[in-house]
Amino acid sequence: MQNDDWVYYWQIGHFLAGHFDIHNYIEATFYTQGILGLIFSKLFGLEKLPILTLLMAVLNFFLFTHILNRFYLKKVFDSILIGLLFFISPLHAYASIGFMTDIYFLFFILLTFVFVEYYIETDKTLYFALANIAGLAGFFSRQLSVISLIALLFFLLYKKKYTYAAIEFAGVATLLIYYFFFYPLTSLMQQNHGFRFLNIFDFKYMYTSIFISIFYAVVFIIPLLIAIFYNYISKNLNKIWLVLALTVGIFGASLVFFSADLLRHDNMFYMHGVLVRNGFFYGTSLGTKYQIKYEDQIYNVWDIVSKVAVALTITLLILHYKKLLNYFTIYISLYIGVLSIMLITYDRYTLAFTPVAIIIFFEIFKDFKFSTVSRIIVIVGLLVTLLYSYNFTMEFITLNRYLWTRANSIYAKGGTQKNKISAGYAWRRNFPNSTGTYRYLFYFQPYYTLPENLACCYSIKETYNIKFPLSIFDDAKIYMYKKTF
C-alpha cells in the first residue's frame, strides 16, 4: 500500500457495504474509479485492486501507442518504442502499482484524446460526443479532467465551429456549476480548493512554475528530444547557430529567473510528491533514507541536461510557433496555467504532460521519420529509464512488503496493537496513533545516528537488507526498533 491509497481501499469497502458518500480525506471526485473498483472487487476481492490499476496502465499504453501509430508515426514498432518510453517512466511506474487516482485519470484523458483526434480527422459528431463522454467520466475520476473539455471548447472556437463550441460551453458550464454548487464537497476539497491569482503577477514564480512544468514534461523523454533535434538539424544545418543561440539564451535566463525554492524543493526533483532522489515517496516517519550510488553526481548532470532540454524545447516551439495552434498545445497551456495558480500541487499532477509533450512534438514535426540512429538513441534511453524505474519500483515493493509483513507478524503474536507499530506512512494512516508513541518502530537510520528522543528509548531488534538484482541503492537497510521501557 502506498501514499494515500489507503483511503481509496477504505472507500471501495464503503461502497461494497452499500454506502456511497465520499471519505473526507479524499480530494478527487473518484466516483468513476470507485465504480470500476467496486465491480472488480465484487469479482476478485478488495486486495486485488492493484491488478485493476495495472490493467488500466496497460490500457493507457495501448491508447497512447494507438494515437502515435494512427495519427503520427504510422509505424507500429516506432509507436511502441515511444509508448514504452512513457509507460516505464518513473511517475507512471509508481502510479501503476497501487490504487491511486492517477492511472484512472490518465486513462480517461487519453481516451478523450483518441476521440478528439478522430473528430479532428473526420469531423463526425459521433466522435465529438464520445470525446465529451470520456471527458465527463474523467471528471468524475479527478476534477482536473475538465481541462480536456475546456481545451476542446477553445479549439472549436479557433476552428470557427461555433455550433459545436456553444454545445461545449453549455456542457462545461453545467458541469462546473454542478460541481461548485451542488456536488457534496469533502472537507479536503473545501480546504484545498481555490486559486492564488496573485501568482500571475509574480514574474519569478510564474517563470519557475512554467519552467518546472516543461521540465517534468521532458525529463524522461530526453532521448526522443535528442532524436528529434538530430533529425531537425540534419535537414536544417543553416539554422544550427540560431537554435544554439536561442537555447543558450533561454538556459541562461533560467539561471537568473528560475527559483526552485518557490516550489517546495531547491534541487531535482523540484515538486513535492511521489518522486524523490532516492526512491518513491516514503514520508518522514521512517527517518533519513539511504541513497542511490553516485546520487549527487547523477542528479547534478541530469539536472543540467534536463534544463538544456527544456531550453531546447522552448526554442523549437518558438521556431515553429505557427504550428502551435492545435488542441494539445491549448490543453497543456491551460493545464500549466491552472497548476501555476493552484493552492497545492504535486508532481503526480504532471503525469499527463509527457504524452501531451510527445504528441505536440509530432504535431510540429509531422514529417519526422525514425532513422537507425534515432532508434538507437531512443532504445538506449529506454534501457536506462527501465533500469532506473525498475530500481525505484523494486525498492518500493521490497521495502513495503517487508514493513507490512513484519508489522502484521508482530501484531499476530499478540500483545501489541497495530497503532502501536510505526511501519511507514501508509501503515500509520491506516492505524493512526494520536499519542505519537510506539512500541515498535521501523527506521532507516542505524542506532548511532538516531535523534536523541529515539536513541534514549529504543534498541535494535532486527536489521533487514533491501536486496534485489541490479540494485543501484547504496547499503540499503531498515532497522526494527523496540521500545525499552
- pLDDT digits 0-9 by tens, 60-101: 999 999 999 999 999 999 999 999 999 999 999 999 988 989
Give how far the C-alpha of residue 459 lies from the chain's centroid of Cα atoms, to the nearest Å.
38
What mean pLDDT is reported for the chain?
Answer: 92
Q: What is the pLDDT of residues 26-48, one digit of tens each?
A: 888 999 999 999 999 999 999 89
Q: Residue 262 has what pLDDT?
A: 74
Three-state DSSP state, 153: helix
Q: Which residue has the higher pLDDT, 412 or 426?
A: 412
Q: Residue 283 has what pLDDT?
A: 75
What one-letter code names the amino acid at 277?
R
Q: What is the pLDDT of residues 304-327, one digit of tens each?
A: 999 999 999 999 999 999 999 999
Provide the grid cell at 233.
538539424
Radius of gyration for the alpha carbons in the chain, expressed in angstroms and rounded? 24
- 251 pLDDT above the threshold of 80: yes
Q: What is the pLDDT of residues 282-298, one digit of tens each?
A: 777 788 899 999 999 99
**CA distances (Å), origin 16, targets 5, 7, 45, 341, 382:** 17, 14, 10, 37, 41
Q: Which of 362, 83, 377, 363 has its CA nearest to residue 230?
A: 377
Q: Residue 146 has what pLDDT?
A: 96
Give how far the C-alpha of residue 334 lies from the chain's centroid of Cα atoms, to the nearest Å.
17
Q: Which residue has the higher pLDDT, 191 or 224?
A: 224
